[in-house]
């Protein structure tokens, strides 16, 4: 599928795309989406609340794996805070919901799972803007601008955090 827009999230691009690919957050139709997750053992629930809806329709709605599984089937359920395939499924679902673009979700889901989803605590709340900014930063980074942090004795196997490169790119 072709990308619908070079923008991320439910935001429109600034008028002159030659100047900037930055989203124009003043034009956002959904500036107040908030995702929440709660994991209790084998049960995990992810919801999305959109405060731009009328007050009587602002109840959190479940974010189900179905749509993301049609894009790429990694797991039957969402997981986070671990290295399982459920983190990949949640990464696809969040990126797909925020960007509205299948190609964006497929391009970034593994990296997003490694640097973001697998680091979420058992109970979390993430504004849509955080995910949109993550996408913007990684989509607009210079090539090789991000490097994996090494594992340390205090956090073995946690070498997936990304930090600015010290290379003079």
**pLDDT band at 52; cut points 50, 70, 90:** confident
pLDDT at res. 55: 84
Among 18-32, 103-117, 150-164, whose mean pLDDT is lowest? 150-164
Within 10 angstroms of residue 166's Cβ, the number of other Cβ atoms is 7
Q: What is the dihedral of CA 141, 69, 66, 36, to 10 degrees?
A: -40
Average of per-residue pLDDT values in the chain: 74
**DSSP secondary-structure letter at 14?**
P
Domain regions of the chain by residue span: 12-164
- Interval 95-145: pLDDT, tens: 999 988 899 999 999 999 999 999 999 999 999 989 988 988 887 766 655
Whole-prediction pTM? 0.69
Which residues are CB-contacts of 55 (< 8 A; sequence separation ≥ 6)? Answer: none
């Amino acid at each position: 599928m072709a990308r619908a827009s070079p923008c991320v999230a439910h935001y429109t691009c600034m008028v002159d795309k030659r100047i900037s690919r930055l989203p124009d957050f003043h034009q956002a139709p959904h500036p107040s989406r908030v995702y929440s997750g709660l994991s209790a053992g084998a049960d995990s629930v992810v919801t999305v609340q959109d405060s731009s809806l009328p007050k009587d329709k602002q109840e959190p709605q479940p974010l189900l794996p179905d749509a993301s599984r049609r894009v790429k089937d990694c797991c039957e359920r969402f997981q986070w805070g671990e290295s399982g395939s459920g983190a990949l499924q949640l990464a696809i679902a969040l990126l797909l919901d925020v960007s509205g673009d299948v190609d964006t979700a497929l391009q970034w889901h593994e990296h997003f799972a490694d640097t973001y989803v697998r680091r979420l605590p058992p109970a979390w709340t993430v504004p849509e803007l955080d995910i949109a900014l993550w996408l913007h930063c990684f989509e607009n980074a210079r090539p090789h601008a991000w490097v994996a942090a090494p594992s340390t004795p205090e956090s073995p196997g946690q070498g997936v955090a990304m930090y600015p490169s010290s290379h003079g790119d």
